[in-house]
């Protein structure tokens, strides 16, 4: 009876702890960090991503745990993210599978640039997690509205598309970009394309432009330099949906989203922009060289292995009946200890799943 009571208490403790862990897991942000490397030859910004032109930093869905996603369609496609740098520019490129009709345009509500196929990019020329002397964050979180972010000059934010139709703003089938926060459009080089069922985005951003109101000295392409980065990849046309039209062209009215989106980090993943949860990107200098696996050459030749006749005869091994029992006898204290160990193991599994 005492064992049964001890076991029930242990199980209650375990379930309680697990409930707390799962609840915390649901509320956590994805804290993403990334190191990128210098490249010898600058990529050609031409709407074509060639082998070896960039460094691949992430791919969806292979690196699924690194991203935030919204929608069903995004779960069925493949996306590749590239990033690298040289002494002049930071380079960013995306190749996204596009099974359906390519739709991208910029006009007025409800045909906003972010209401169909697009790539929205955000750059904070500083460590987005930096804090002040009093411990408060330099960069605002979800509490900040659009006006505060816009007037604060905290970050560059812009959207690029490959237009699918002529509007008052652009011709059909041409690269097009527009600024949201600060002016990167006039400083960067970019190209977009839709080829063989893929949407392609390429962007080169000069280091000389990497300043903001909180960091007035331009970032330099030096190993150890840190900046904040995020992006939203839009994959479906939502401009004709009644709820979007009624919400002045914006998706997500009352927390309901109709489009499919892939977020690089967690600045956009919870509704209002949260700058301090952008990806922390560090420049890593020259890319490390992957060593050649020489294990085959270093292995002991087959003829030098111990001859079969010299091995210990099977009949000399300890009989099965002499081995120790697999499951030891467990008393009350042992039951509680096992339950506690189980709680710790479960907690570790949850934390590891969310850690980045």
Instruction: Give the phi and the psi of residue 22 in degrees, each rounded to 5.
Output: -65, -40
**In the structure, what pLDDT confidence band is assigned to residue 294 with cuts at 50, 70 and 90?**
low
Chain segment 176-221, per-residue pLDDT in tens: 999 999 999 999 999 999 999 999 999 999 999 999 999 999 999 9
**211, burial (CB in 10 Å: exposed 0-12, middle 13-18, buried 19+):** middle
The answer to whether the beta carbons of residues 276 and 155 sit under 8 Å apart is: no
Q: Give the rounded percent of residues in the chain with a pLDDT score beyond 70.
A: 74
Least confident stretch, 2-6, 92-96, 344-348: 344-348
The 10 Å Cβ neighbour count of residue 164 is: 17
Question: What's the pLDDT at 293?
Answer: 63
**In the structure, what pLDDT confidence band is assigned to residue 311 with cuts at 50, 70 and 90?**
very low
Nearest partner of 346 among 10, 66, 22, 26, judged by Cα: 22
Question: What's the pLDDT at 269?
Answer: 81
> At which residue do the structure tokens 């904040």 appear?
228
Residue 314 in this model has a pLDDT that exceeds 50: no
**272, burial (CB in 10 Å: exposed 0-12, middle 13-18, buried 19+):** middle
Question: What's the pLDDT at 149?
Answer: 95
Cα–Cα distance for residue pair 286/289, rounded to 1 Å: 9
Question: What's the pLDDT at 272?
Answer: 84
**In the structure, what pLDDT confidence band is assigned to residue 170 with cuts at 50, 70 and 90?**
very high
Question: What's the pLDDT at 114?
Answer: 95
- Position with higher pLDDT, 335 vs 38: 38
Residue 166's alpha-carbon distances to 105, 186, 189, 313, in angstroms, are 8, 22, 22, 83
Rounded to 10 degrees, the C-alpha dihedral 217/221/223/225 comes to 40
Which one of 2-16, 273-287, 298-312, 335-349 scores highest in mean pLDDT?
A: 273-287
Question: What's the pLDDT at 99?
Answer: 80
Chain-wide mean pLDDT for the chain?
Answer: 81
Q: State how beta strands 198-206 and 261-263 pair.
A: unpaired
Greatest CA span in the chain, whole angstroms?
88
Reduced to 3 states, what is the DSSP secondary structure of residue 300? Answer: coil
Chain segment 211-248, per-residue pLDDT in tens: 999 999 999 999 999 999 999 999 999 999 999 999 99
Question: What's the pLDDT at 281?
Answer: 98
Question: What's the pLDDT at 312?
Answer: 44
Cα–Cα distance for residue pair 111/108, rounded to 1 Å: 5
Question: What's the pLDDT at 50?
Answer: 95
CATH class in words for 32-286: mainly beta
With both helix axes pointing from N to C terminus, report the angle between 2-27 and 332-354 in degrees, rounded to the nearest 10: 10
Rounded to an integer, the average pLDDT of 64-79 is 95
The 10 Å Cβ neighbour count of residue 267 is: 30
**27, burial (CB in 10 Å: exposed 0-12, middle 13-18, buried 19+):** exposed
What ranges in 155-267 are assigned the alpha helix state H? 242-246
- Position with higher pLDDT, 294 vs 348: 294
Chain segment 239-278, per-residue pLDDT in tens: 999 999 999 999 998 889 999 999 999 999 887 899 999 9
Sign for the pseudo-dihedral over CA of 356, 150, 202, 178: positive
> Which pTM does this prediction carry?
0.75
Reduced to 3 states, what is the DSSP secondary structure of residue 292? Answer: coil
Chain segment 10-28, per-residue pLDDT in tens: 444 444 443 333 322 334 7
Question: What's the pLDDT at 346?
Answer: 39
């Amino acid at each position: 009876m005492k064992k049964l009571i001890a076991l029930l208490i242990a199980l209650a403790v375990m379930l309680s702890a697990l409930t707390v862990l799962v609840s915390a897991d649901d509320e956590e942000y994805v804290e993403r960090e990334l190191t990128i490397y210098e490249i010898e030859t600058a990529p050609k910004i031409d709407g074509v991503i060639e082998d070896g032109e960039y460094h691949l930093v992430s791919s969806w869905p292979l690196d699924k745990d690194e991203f935030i996603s919204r929608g069903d369609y995004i779960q069925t496609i493949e996306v590749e993210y590239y990033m690298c740098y040289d002494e002049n520019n930071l380079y960013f490129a995306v190749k996204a599978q596009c099974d359906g009709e390519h739709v991208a345009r910029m006009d007025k509500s409800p045909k906003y640039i972010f209401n169909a196929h697009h790539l929205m990019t955000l750059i904070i020329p500083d460590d987005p997690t930096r804090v002040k002397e009093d411990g408060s964050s330099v960069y605002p979180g979800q509490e900040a509205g659009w006006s505060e972010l816009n007037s604060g000059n905290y970050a560059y934010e812009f959207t690029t598309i490959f237009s699918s139709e002529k509007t008052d703003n652009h011709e059909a089938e041409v690269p097009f970009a527009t600024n949201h926060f600060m002016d990167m459009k006039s400083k960067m080089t970019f190209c977009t394309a839709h080829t063989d069922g893929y949407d392609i985005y390429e962007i080169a951003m000069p280091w000389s432009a990497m300043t903001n109101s909180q960091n007035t000295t331009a970032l330099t392409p030096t190993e150890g330099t840190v900046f904040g980065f995020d992006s939203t990849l839009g994959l479906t046309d939502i401009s004709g949906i009644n709820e979007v039209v009624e919400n002045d062209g914006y998706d997500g009215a009352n927390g309901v989203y109709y489009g499919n989106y892939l977020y690089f980090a967690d600045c956009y993943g919870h509704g209002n922009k949260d700058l301090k949860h952008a990806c922390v990107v560090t420049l890593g200098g020259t890319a490390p060289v992957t060593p050649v696996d020489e294990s085959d050459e270093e292995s002991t030749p087959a003829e030098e292995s111990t001859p079969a006749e010299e091995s210990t005869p099977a009949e000399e091994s300890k009989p099965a009946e002499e081995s120790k029992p697999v499951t030891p006898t467990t008393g009350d204290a042992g039951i509680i200890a096992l339950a506690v160990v189980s709680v710790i193991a479960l907690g570790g599994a949850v934390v590891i799943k969310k850690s980045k």
